[in-house]
Amino acid sequence: MRWENLSKDPKILSHYELFKDSGVLDYIEETRDMNKALEELLQEAKEIFRQESVDELIELIIHYLAEKFIPSNMVFILNEGIMVNKIKTIICRNMKITNETIEIYSLEPFERFFRTNQQTIRFDLLENEFAETNYLDPFLSYKPEIVVPVLGISGLYGMILFSAKVLGEDYKPQEISYIDRLMNFTSIGIQNTIHYEHSVKDPKTGLYNHNFFIHRVNEQIARAKRIKRHFSILVIDIDNFKYFNDSYGHLAGDEVILQVSKILKKSIREGDILSRFGGEEFTILLPYADCQEGWEASERIRKAIEQMETPYQEDVLKITISLGVATYNFLEDENENSLLKKADEALYESKKNGRNRTTSFNHECS
């Protein structure tokens, strides 16, 4: 029977003073508050596990913490690499993400310490452990008081540092407990998102990989059939890529791929799916773009790359791309392979006709 019903029972009411003096009522109230807090924490955990990127997850964590208290500074240090170190730092001041970064290249020095200290700790314990080193120097300007390790099956994924609260009060035991519990879920969430991103993204460019692209094209085909809308895909190839490798070396080729990736990222709309097909080829899914819109988007991207200048050693590399466009017609029985083949054929025409151009498989659109 729920307490709301019990509290109205005449027998309970007749012994109200006894319950009050014995502390039973206080205990019931504390238990109810604790259960409510746990329910809220479980709801927060569900949202944490729904996030698809580390950045989204951190923004959510900041939102949850801001509802409880506001640290003057928070520092997230995360290793996004799995086989290699790829350290990412996110700095928050008064719960707002800044553009600041910290130069740290490895979490290895802290790995052994957190293997035996797996809970939330005070920063001074870390200072005592590393007093003879300069490992903590990059963090000192943020005046951390609390350190939360982000631990998982592969070891230490990162650390989260909390400085004093904005109003200067000490952290209450229940606040430390909340941080500890929330960060347990956050650790799992960060592991999941890191492993998810590695499964769907190209390690060199950070773009989606080809398998993810095909998965999204299949989803778009099903959606297009249902709502009777067109969409387009682009296949992109860097012109004369072998020239950069042969003339300047493979590091120059890598730099060309990275610079093209950056321009492509800036040139697409929110909701478009950009992937690295492999080597010097890229693909873009343009949801709801018809034939003409697909060609116009392709030309906009081509011109952006054409205007790009890439300094390398003492030279400036001039880069161009060729593109092929194919548009899905919901009236035809077409799959992702036949659509990609059409875009490839259009790309071949672009390269055959002199490169640095766009060709649409549907010629009436070009």
Q: What angle do CA 49, 272, 215 make, to 5 degrees?
A: 65
- Same structural domain, 225 and 290: yes
In a shared domain, residues 181 and 311: no
DSSP 170: P
Give the mean pLDDT of 120-132: 91
Backbone φ and ψ of 325, nearest 5°:
-120, 135
Indicate which CATH number applies to the domain containing 323. 3.30.70.270
Residue 290 lies in a domain: yes
Q: Is the domain of 42 the same as that of 67?
A: no
Judge if 135 and 214 occupy the same domain: no
**Amino acid 141: pLDDT:** 92
Q: What is the mean pLDDT of residues 333-353?
A: 94
89 and 176 part of one domain: yes
Same domain, 165 and 261: no
Percent pLDDT > 70 in the chain is: 89
217 and 96 part of one domain: no
CA–CA dist 198, 79 (Å, integer): 12
Tell me how far apart the alpha carbons of residues 160 and 183 are, in angstroms, rounded to a whole number.
Answer: 9
- Kindly report, residue by residue over 16-47, the tens digit of the pLDDT: 566 555 666 566 666 776 677 778 878 888 88
Which of 165, 193, 221 terminates a domain? The answer is: 193
3-state secondary structure at position 24: helix
Compute the average pLDDT of residues 279-289.
Answer: 96
Residue 201 lies in a domain: no
End residue of a domain, out of 193, 219, 242? 193
User: Is residue 221 domain-resident?
Assistant: yes
**Beta strand extents in the chain (DSSP E only):** 73-79, 87-93, 96-97, 121-122, 144-152, 155-163, 208-209, 231-238, 273-278, 281-286, 309-312, 315-318, 321-328, 358-360
On whether the CB atoms of residues 143 and 123 are closer than 8 A, the answer is no
Same domain, 326 and 287: yes
Query: How confident is the model over 298-333, as pLDDT tens digits?
Result: 999 999 999 998 888 888 899 999 999 999 988 888
Residue 299 located in a structural domain? yes
Banded pLDDT at 14 (limits 50, 70, 90): low
Among residues 85, 126, 91, 133, the alpha carbon closest in space to that of 105 is found at 85
pLDDT tens digits, 48-77:
888 878 888 889 988 888 888 889 999 999
pLDDT at 98 over 50: yes
Q: Can you give the residue range of the structural domain that contains 232?
A: 208-365
What band does 357 get if pLDDT is binned at 50, 70 and 90? very high
Look up residue 288 and give its two tokens: 């709801």
Instruction: Read off the pLDDT of residues 195-225 as tens digits, 9 standing for 90 and up.
Output: 888 889 998 898 999 999 999 999 999 999 9
Residues 147 and 215 in one domain: no
Indicate the number of domains in the chain: 3
The reply to whether 234 and 303 lie within a common domain is yes
Task: Let me know if residue 357 belongs to a domain.
Answer: yes
The fraction of the chain above a pLDDT of 90, given in percent, is 48
CATH number at residue 104: 3.30.450.40
Residue 199 lies inside a defined structural domain of this protein: no
What are the distances in angstroms from CA 104 to CA 60, 101, 152, 205?
Answer: 24, 9, 20, 21
288: phi then psi, degrees, rounded to nearest 5:
70, 10
Q: What is the β-pairing status of strands 321-328 and 358-360?
A: parallel
- The torsion of the CA quartet 188, 194, 195, 199, rounded to 10 degrees, works out to 150
Q: How far apart are CA 293 and CA 96, in angstroms?
A: 38
pLDDT at 1: 43
Q: Please indicate, yes or no, whether residues 239 and 350 belong to a single structural domain of this protein.
A: yes
Nearest CA to 293 out of 301, 281, 304, 303 is that of 301
Residues 55 and 45 occupy one common structural domain: no
Asked if the structure places residue 198 within a domain, the reply is: no
pLDDT of 80 reads 80
Residue 203: inside a domain, yes or no? no
